[in-house]
């Protein structure tokens, strides 16, 4: 059994109507319910009526819930792009195999160089990102990379191609703590229209990844959809369903959710239904209220002003001073970025802004693994 | 021959089956289970189970309590 | 639409489970059971004492159609609990077993380690296992993972009648559990039972509160009404208000536009 068995039975377009038909009474019910919330409650929280009549309440409630659960601590992580080599044909991504640019796969020396720079910036929580290339950056590559990065990171995350249970188990032994795999869109038919080639075209393999991560015992799993790619109402409700599924089947696994908004990339893809700032704020509140324990991550895709505004409302992890090009910390500007960074403040500037609002930037995250491979 | 029954040593006749033993104690109508040398003997085997010298027989009942 | 209790694949109208200890006679026990409406009762396995002519309790309960749930009380460790379970199954031809192991003689608090060990063996051996444990949410999930039919966390120590001392833990257990939650021990009054149901318990077990009451039959009836009221309140949904507080100025300005 996997989440695929759940989602393939559903016509997620039905969620669109459910969201649009939610009334004030539905929103109030979702906001005052004592029992666990369902997808219909989540739909109410992301509805237009919720935005128009309850957003202020939602901001308050979300802020309180986050404070109670996480205090004033926000985790700082930094992405380290290992490669921009990708064998997939995703129409919305700068790294698509269809785009012509210099492809790079960092070697261990270059990775070590990047890590040194990352350490100088103060980071100990590193997110390894790569394009998807089984051939040149597959499990064997990762098994070599992890020990190098682990020298500098106390918390190690990855956002790479979906791997098998066994491969995750191997990486866990090398110190892997968390893995993010975003479904981009849960709409099976639309998914096949925007993922034209490569292993990523396999909807089922991708959507079953969180299950495999749960089975491998990875400490934290990150899920989410690319907002603006398809209809965010359908995709967010599907994400809510995925959250419920993961909580039900993998009670020992932490969950993190991200809400990347489609940004300009070399491919030039325009969002079908853009998500406004107001809507994104509402979505963050909705997620926090829907599941109090979620880790909510905000990247530098969003502008400085907007990040400062919404951080207190529900965010538990952010990056700052990020680069989305391989080798971008030691040698900026030599390679293609996956997407353009919006908040380009330095990490010190971001930490300063946080501290002036009474928040503590946490760099040191103890690793979750007690035993590491010799 | 001598056997140990529910903590006491008692004398029983030779070639006695567990089934007959239970009948002699007039326990046949109760909801009971029997263990010999700490191994439960299923009811269906009582008629074929012959008690031997030195065996420890324990009989248990369901009672009010918990 | 009915709201039945489902345990080990069987459905019951009553959400009350009766413990049989401390009753003076089997006849009174049967009457109290009838008044309480309970359809499930627990009883112990003990070495037979032919000199003791205590009333037989099993047949009167069976005649009433009561589901028997034998328990392993008296067991001090997993080995004894497993043995008791096997004896009960052999004697009653019922595969339900409430695993209770309390070596602690002062509070009769359950031993989590011996209980878990016993449950592991008994689940594998095909028993329908109902562990009696302290209100420990993680222990409940661990037991759920090995295949128990329900969890039975205590409200407060056996016979203490202190009600739901473990309330906050019980709420967590109820929220996270995928198996029925039966709150057991310490239910001293019908209001404790109502509370148990209001917070979402699937069932509630009562023994001392009825057995030691002044008028046992009236108390049994009171508990019958309590389980009905509590469950009904839970299904009806208790009302609540939205709590609000002030937002920061930049947020207020943002919200003004955002809510247009």
Residue C10's Cβ-side half-sphere holds a number of Cα atoms within 13 Å equal to 13
- What is the predicted pLDDT for the residue at C186? 87
CB atoms within 10 A of CB B9: 10
* Residue C77 tokens, joined: 């460790």
- What is the predicted pLDDT for the residue at A216? 97
The per-residue pLDDT for range C138-183, each reduced to its tens digit, is: 999 999 999 999 999 999 998 888 999 999 999 999 988 999 999 9
- Chain A hits for C178, CB-CB cut-off 8 Å, are 248
**Mutate: best of A56, A281, A310, A358, partner C, most C CBs <10 A:** A56
Span of A49-58, A157-166, A360-369, C79-88 with lowest mean pLDDT: A360-369
CB atoms within 10 A of CB A105: 16
CA distance C171 to A300: 39
Contacts 24+ apart (CB under 8 A), A139-148: A139/A163, A139/A167, A139/A170, A139/A171, A141/A105, A142/A171, A143/A170, A143/A171, A143/A174, A144/A108, A145/A82, A145/A108, A145/A111, A146/A171, A146/A174, A146/A175, A146/A176, A147/A174, A147/A175, A148/A108, A148/A111, A148/A112, A148/A115
The per-residue pLDDT for range A140-159, each reduced to its tens digit, is: 999 999 999 999 998 999 99
CB atoms within 10 A of CB A244: 18
Is C70 in contact with C42 (CB distance < 8 Å)? yes
Is the pLDDT score of A350 beyond 50?
yes
Contacts of C209 (CB under 8 A, 6+ apart): C161, C187, C188, C189, C192, C219, C223
CB atoms within 10 A of CB C124: 11
Tell me which residue in C19, C48, C207 faces B27 most closely, judged by beta carbons.
C48
Q: Is C235 in the active site?
A: no
Mean pLDDT of C50-68: 80
Is the pLDDT score of C1 beyond 80?
no
Q: Predicted ipTM?
A: 0.88
Please answer yes or no on whether B64 and C44 come within 8 Å at the CB atom. Answer: yes
Q: Which positions in chain B have a beta carbon within 8 angstroms of at least one beta carbon in chain C?
A: 6-7, 25-27, 30-35, 38, 40, 42-43, 58-66
- What is the predicted pLDDT for the residue at A163? 97
Is C41 in contact with C7 (CB distance < 8 Å)? no
Tell me the count of B-C CB pairs closer than 8 A.
Answer: 93
**Which is catalytic among the residues C34, C51, C98, C141?**
C98
- CB contacts under 8 A, C 220-249 vs A, are 238-245, 247-248
- What is the predicted pLDDT for the residue at C99? 98
B41: left (phi over 0), alpha (psi -120 to 50) or beta: beta
- Chain C hits for A61, CB-CB cut-off 8 Å, are 242-243
- Chain A hits for C241, CB-CB cut-off 8 Å, are 32
Nearest CA to A354 out of A29, A31, A133, A75 is that of A75
The per-residue pLDDT for range C8-40, each reduced to its tens digit, is: 999 999 999 999 988 878 888 999 999 999 999
pLDDT band for position A52 (cuts 50, 70, 90): very high
- Kindly give the residue spans of alpha helices, DSSP state H, lying in chain A: 3-7, 14-20, 24-32, 39-45, 48-70, 108-120, 139-150, 165-173, 188-194, 203-207, 209-216, 232-249, 277-290, 304-314, 347-356
Nearest CA to A229 out of A278, A184, A197 is that of A184
Nearest CA to A321 out of A305, A332, A334 is that of A332
What CATH code would you report for B2-61? 3.10.20.30
Tell me which residue in C44, C47, C48 faces B66 most closely, judged by beta carbons.
C44
Mean pLDDT of A335-361: 87
Is the pLDDT score of A374 beyond 60?
no
Mean pLDDT of A59-78: 91
CA distance A218 to A181: 13
CA distance C190 to C226: 5
Please answer yes or no on whether B7 and C68 come within 8 Å at the CB atom. Answer: no
Enumerate neighbours of A (3 or more CB pairs within 8 A).
Answer: C
Give A147's DSSP letter: H
Is the pLDDT score of A101 beyond 70?
yes
- Chain C hits for B30, CB-CB cut-off 8 Å, are 48, 56, 58
Quick one: which H or E segment has residue B8? strand B8-11
The per-residue pLDDT for range C60-116, each reduced to its tens digit, is: 898 999 999 999 999 999 999 999 999 999 999 999 999 999 988 888 899 999 999
Contacts of C182 (CB under 8 A, 6+ apart): C17, C130, C150, C151, C152, C201, C202, C203, C204, C205
Residue C67 contacts B where some CB pair is shorter than 8 Å: no
* Residue A138 tokens, joined: 């597959």
Across all residues in chain A, what is the average pLDDT?
91
- Chain C hits for B62, CB-CB cut-off 8 Å, are 43-45, 57-58, 68, 70, 88, 91-92
Q: Give me the domains of chain C, ranges plus CATH numbers.
A: 5-259 (3.20.20.70)
Instruction: Identify the closest residue of chain C to A282 by CA–CA distance.
Output: C258
Nearest CA to A254 out of A147, A194, A178, A142 is that of A178
- Any contact of B with C, at least 3 CB pairs below 8 A? yes
| Three-class SS state of A78 | strand
β partners of residue C11: C6
The share of chain A scoring above pLDDT 70, in percent, equals 96
Tell me which residue in A248, A281, A312 faces C258 most closely, judged by beta carbons.
A281
- What is the predicted pLDDT for the residue at C52? 61
Burial class of C153 by CB neighbour count within 10 A (0 to 12, 13 to 18, 19+): buried
């Amino acid at each position: 059994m996997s989440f695929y068995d759940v989602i393939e039975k559903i016509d997620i377009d039905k969620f669109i109507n459910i969201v649009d038909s939610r009334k004030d009474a539905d929103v109030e019910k979702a906001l005052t319910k004592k029992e666990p919330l369902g997808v219909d409650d989540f739909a109410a929280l992301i509805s237009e009526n919720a935005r128009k009549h309850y957003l202020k309440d939602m901001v308050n409630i979300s802020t309180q819930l986050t404070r109670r659960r996480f205090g004033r601590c926000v985790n700082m992580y930094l992405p380290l792009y290992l490669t921009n080599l990708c064998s997939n044909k995703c129409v919305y991504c700068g790294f698509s195999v269809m785009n012509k640019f210099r492809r790079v796969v960092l070697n261990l020396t270059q990775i070590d160089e990047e890590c040194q720079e990352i350490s100088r910036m103060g980071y100990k929580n590193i997110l390894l990102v790569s394009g998807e290339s089984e051939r040149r950056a597959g499990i064997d590559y990762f098994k070599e990379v992890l020990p190098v990065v682990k020298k500098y990171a106390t918390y190690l995350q990855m956002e790479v191609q979906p791997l098998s249970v066994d491969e995750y188990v191997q990486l866990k032994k090398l110190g892997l703590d968390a893995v993010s795999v975003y479904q981009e869109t849960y709409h099976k038919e639309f998914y096949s229209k925007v993922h034209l080639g490569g292993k990523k075209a396999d909807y089922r393999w991708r959507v079953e990844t969180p299950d495999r991560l749960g089975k491998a015992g990875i400490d934290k799993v990150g899920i989410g959809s690319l907002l603006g790619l398809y209809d965010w109402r359908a995709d967010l409700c599907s994400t809510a369903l995925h959250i419920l599924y993961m909580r039900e089947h993998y009670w020992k696994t932490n969950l993190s959710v991200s809400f990347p908004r489609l940004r300009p990339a070399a491919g030039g893809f325009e969002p079908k239904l853009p998500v406004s700032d107001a809507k994104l704020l509402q979505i963050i509140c909705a997620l926090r209220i829907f599941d109090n324990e979620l880790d909510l991550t905000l990247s530098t895709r969003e502008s400085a002003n907007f990040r400062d505004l919404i951080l207190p409302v529900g965010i538990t992890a952010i990056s700052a001073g990020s680069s989305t090009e391989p080798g971008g910390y030691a040698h900026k500007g030599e390679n293609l970025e996956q997407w353009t960074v919006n908040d380009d403040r330095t990490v010190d500037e971001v930490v300063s802004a946080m501290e002036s609002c009474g928040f503590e930037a946490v760099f040191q995250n103890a690793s979750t693994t007690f035993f590491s491979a010799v | 021959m001598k056997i140990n029954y529910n903590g006491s040593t008692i004398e029983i006749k030779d070639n006695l089956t567990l089934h007959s033993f239970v009948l002699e104690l007039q326990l046949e109508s109760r909801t009971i289970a029997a263990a010999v040398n700490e191994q439960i003997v299923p009811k269906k085997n009582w008629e074929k189970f012959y008690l031997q010298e030195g065996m420890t027989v324990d009989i248990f009942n369901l009672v009010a309590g918990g | 639409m009915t709201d039945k209790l489902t345990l080990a694949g069987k459905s019951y109208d009553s959400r009350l489970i009766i413990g049989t200890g401390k009753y003076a006679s089997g006849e009174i026990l049967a009457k109290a059971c009838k008044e309480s409406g309970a359809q499930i009762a627990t009883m112990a396995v003990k070495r037979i004492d032919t000199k003791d002519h205590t009333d037989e309790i099993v047949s009167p309960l069976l005649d009433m159609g009561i589901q028997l749930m034998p328990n392993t009380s008296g067991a001090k460790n997993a080995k004894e609990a497993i043995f008791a379970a096997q004896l009960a199954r052999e004697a009653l031809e019922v595969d339900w077993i409430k695993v209770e192991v309390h070596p602690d003689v002062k509070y009769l608090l359950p031993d989590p380690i011996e209980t878990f060990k016993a449950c592991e063996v008994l689940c594998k051996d095909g028993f329908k296992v109902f562990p009696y444990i302290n209100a420990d949410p993680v222990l409940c999930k661990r037991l759920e993972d090995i295949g128990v039919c329900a969890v039975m966390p205590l409200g407060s120590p056996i016979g203490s009648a202190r009600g739901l001392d473990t309330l906050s833990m019980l709420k967590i257990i109820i929220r996270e559990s995928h198996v029925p939650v039966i709150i057991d021990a310490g239910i001293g009054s019908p209001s404790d039972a109502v509370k148990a149901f209001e917070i979402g318990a699937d069932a509630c077990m009562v023994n001392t509160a009825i057995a030691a009451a002044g008028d046992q039959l009236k108390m049994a009836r009171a508990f019958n009404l309590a389980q009905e009221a509590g469950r009904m309140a839970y299904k009806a949904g208790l009302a609540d208000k939205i709590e609000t507080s002030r937002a920061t100025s930049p947020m207020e300005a943002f919200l003004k536009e955002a809510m247009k």
